[in-house]
Amino acid sequence: MPAPTPAPPSGALRGGAYAFAAYALWGVLPLYFLQLQPTGPWEVVAWRILLAFGFCLLLLTALRGWRSFLAIVRQPRLMALTALAGALIYVNWQTYLLGTLTGHVVETSLGYFINPIVTVLLGVLVLRERLRVLPWVAIGIAVAAVLVIVIGYGTFPWIALTLALSFGVYGLVKKRIGPSVDAVSGLTLESFWLLPIAGVQLVVIASTTGLTLGTAGPAHTLLLLAAGAVTALPLLLFASAARRAPLTVIGLLQFIAPILQFIIGVAVLGEPMTTERWVGFGLVWVALVLLSADSVLAGWRGRRRRDAPLAPDEPI
């Protein structure tokens, strides 16, 4: 009788739960941001930056993280990388809000479906990683999907591609930073670099259409003031997950967010899905199945190699 499979360590289970919570929160964010109307996307992002920065300062104090934060500040290389990460996350946030608040939630979900494929492609182009056959097939199918949407639907999916590219490069920068910058310190610095942009946006809005904070009732004001915590919480959960859960688990769970966004866009908000869009999304989903299968197979083969010695002529 075979021995029972050992249960995963409690740390890995906790990490999986953190990852699930982070992606689920990201998945339902459209419903939260839609409750902030009549606040427009430019004002929402400005408040999001300011309030996230304030929330992170409170967390640094509560978690006694000022010593590690100041150690990061004294390293010019890390400061430059956090500035770059801040610029990329600003592009991502602003594009996401523009999409969500202008009736393009389905297209934002497409961006996060494409993101894993963009990440793999960046690994090849920037990190010189070597790919197996299945990831290359997945990349080809994803390119075909974008072409189907552009030609058949008649519009270029700029929201989806901007989200995928900005978050993909953001992940690459965070990989360069590595464990040298913890999650709270990183988000604090990224928000800090964006404070001038947030200030300019609020000044322009105040002098043109007018700010909405405090003008649409107490419930709206409380929801808008919660933007800092809503921004930081899933990022902190994800950082905790990344330290505990296997990458395979995190890679598979990442599809929770775009699936929820897609369901919200189609079933809740009633955004149109033409035949061309269904074909394009279907091709993307096929590509993601291939990419996930390759990741699972690679992890399984890696475990087998660790459990058994390599033959002299066995390929790596």
Q: What is the pLDDT of residues 162-190, one digit of tens each?
A: 999 998 898 888 888 878 888 889 889 99
- How remote is the C-alpha of 105 from its chain's centroid? 15
Kind plus residue range of the DSSP H or E element containing 175 = helix 158-177
CA distance 279 to 271: 16
For the chain, the average pLDDT equals: 85
Whether residue 6 has pLDDT greater than 60: no
205-213: average pLDDT: 94
Q: What is the pLDDT of residue 306?
A: 58
CA distance 96 to 107: 10
Q: What is the pLDDT of residue 52?
A: 92
> Could you give the C-alpha distances from 154 to 142, 162, 306, in angstroms and in order?
17, 18, 50
Q: What is the pLDDT of residue 19?
A: 87
Q: Quick one: pLDDT band at residue 200, thresholds 50, 70, 90? A: very high
Whether residue 264 has pLDDT greater than 60: yes
Look at residues 286, 245, 216, 235 and name the one whose alpha carbon lies nearest to residue 38: 216
Whether residue 316 has pLDDT greater than 50: no
- Asked whether 261 and 109 are in contact (CB, 8 A), the reply is yes
Q: Which residue did the predictor score with more confidence, 248 or 207? A: 207
Q: What is the pLDDT of residues 66-115, one digit of tens each?
A: 999 999 999 999 999 999 999 999 999 999 999 999 999 999 999 999 88
Q: Is 269 exposed, middle or buried (CB count within 10 Å of its CB: 0-12, 13-18, 19+)? A: middle
- Asked whether 108 and 261 are in contact (CB, 8 A), the reply is yes
Whether residue 5 has pLDDT greater than 60: no
Q: Respond yes or no on whether the N-terminal peptide bond of residue 38 is cis (omega within 30° of 0).
A: yes
215-235: average pLDDT: 91
Give domain limits for the chain: 11-131+158-211+224-269
